[in-house]
Structure 1
Amino acid sequence: MSNPILYGFTKKDLEYTIELVVKRLRKTELVNNTILDTEEDRLTQKEAAKFLGKSEQCLIQWRKKHLIPFYKIAGSVFYSKKELLDCARKNPKLVTPVRK
């Protein structure tokens, strides 16, 4: 394994590289601190559909219409239970009441 030679880069190249690293770290920090803060808040598409009393296809349509908040991480779609509840409170027509 060879070691990279840092003195071969210009100051501008190093600044650009550092900016990229900092941006990636900030993205990771945002994901870890806000979106996936607790395992209980994160729902898969199937779980979110059951939680709202709707089909997965319905959730996909809502997602495409930007009616509900969602996150895409590494190609997988996730929902925040808290954000879905907030959305349902603001738009009660979206959700079906659960009957026992």
Structure 2
Amino acid sequence: MKTEDKQVVIISMTKQELDGYIEKYMNSKFIHSKEERGEKLTQKQAAALFGVTTVTIIRWQKKGIIPFNKVGRTVFYYKSELLDIAQVSPGLLK
């Protein structure tokens, strides 16, 4: 049985530096330009994409698990952003 060598690196930074680093990382991973976002999905379509109910989609939305957009009272999702989340959390897909 092989074990992986894991290296722990400790660095010092301010809260502001950490916030900036996290924001930069999240923007590079999950935020797409308008052109890249592509297809908009309804809650029903998003549920079908993940193979879950719309109630589950709404629960994930409230917990911050999946990104969503809202115009007035209309909630929608960008398919590309949902697929990005699915790559990071493959357990969401059935």
Alignment TM class, shorter chain as reference: 0.5 to 0.7
* CA distance in structure 1 between the aligned counterparts of 2:93 and 2:56, rounded to whole angstroms: 11
Q: Does the alignment pair 1:75 with 2:73?
A: yes
Q: Which has the larger radius of gyration?
A: 1
- Unmatched tracts of structure 2, length 5 or more: 1-32
State the percentage of identical aligned residues.
43
Deviations along 1:27-57, one digit per CA (max 9) or x if unpaired, are xxxxxx72xx58x510000111111111000
1:74 offset after TM fit, Å? 1.6
Q: Which structure 2 residues correspond to residues 34-49 of structure 1 after superposition, within 5 A?
A: 34=34, 37=35, 41-49=39-47
Aligned amino acid, residue 88 of structure 1: A
* CA distance in structure 2 between the aligned counterparts of 1:50 and 1:94, rounded to whole angstroms: 12
The ranges of structure 1 where at least 4 consecutive aligned residues each deviate by more than 2 angstroms after the TM superposition are: none
User: What's the RMSD between the two structures over aligned residues?
Assistant: 1.9
* CA distance in structure 1 between the aligned counterparts of 2:92 and 2:70, rounded to whole angstroms: 22
SS at match of 2:48: helix
1:66 offset after TM fit, Å? 0.1
**TM-score between the two structures when normalised by the length of structure 2:** 0.60
Aligned amino acid, residue 73 of structure 1: V
